[in-house]
Amino acid sequence: MASSPHEDSAADVLIRVQGVPAGARSSFLGLLGGRELRRFSKFTLVGGLSFAVNLGVLFAGTELLGLHYILSMLLSGIVVNLLSFALNRQWTFGVTETSVGRDALRYLAANLLSMLAAMASMAVLVDLVHVQYLLANAIVALVFLLANFFMHGQWTFGRSARRREPSPRV
């Protein structure tokens, strides 16, 4: 089936769902070239590690401690946020010049918004669609990957990370 020139890409749809202003869409769509592709790869690796920790805490909280899956997800979110903030700030975005406190507040604010949306999405998948909670968590994590990369790259660490990058060699 041929796509029409007016058809939205998956990235456009994800951005609109996440509430990213229209003016930011073009910069988002151009992110996956050069150094941004390297950053996205690092972000994805940090995300993979964080996801593994997330699943472990989610499983342990729900199955071993008998917590409701939403409470377990909240607990795993706290653990994963601490881990991913440290790794993304230092390794993915290479930020060392700004205040750790300022960056942490922005990171946590962005992730809180993302986590609330993820929890709502997970509740829909588990309670309404009847998807098993661990699989639902995996689906939610994949959906939010691109939106979170954009949010942290442009807002949380954006200005500091761009200052540290060398000019491209010609």
Predicted confidence (pLDDT) per residue in 67-87, tens digit: 999 999 999 988 998 999 999
Q: Which domain holds residue 48?
A: 34-161
The answer to whether residue 2 sits within a structural domain is: no
CA distance linking residue 32 with residue 49, whole number of Å: 21
Confidence of residue 27 (pLDDT cuts 50, 70, 90): low
Which range scores top for mean pLDDT: 14-18, 21-25, 45-49? 45-49
The answer to whether residue 170 sits within a structural domain is: no
The answer to whether residue 152 sits within a structural domain is: yes
The answer to whether residue 151 sits within a structural domain is: yes
Which range, of 60-64, 140-144, 155-159, averages the lowest pLDDT? 155-159
The answer to whether residue 91 sits within a structural domain is: yes
- The pLDDT value recorded for residue 123 is 96
The answer to whether residue 40 sits within a structural domain is: yes
- The pLDDT value recorded for residue 64 is 97
The answer to whether residue 21 sits within a structural domain is: no
pTM: 0.62
- pLDDT > 70 fraction of the chain, expressed in percent and rounded: 74
> 113: buried, middle or exposed (CB in 10 Å: 19+, 13-18, 0-12)?
middle
- The pLDDT value recorded for residue 159 is 64
CA distance linking residue 119 with residue 87, whole number of Å: 23
- The pLDDT value recorded for residue 111 is 84
Q: What mean pLDDT do residues 120-140 have?
A: 95
Mean pLDDT of the chain: 80
The answer to whether residue 9 sits within a structural domain is: no
CA distance linking residue 103 with residue 167, whole number of Å: 24
How many domains would you assign to the chain?
1
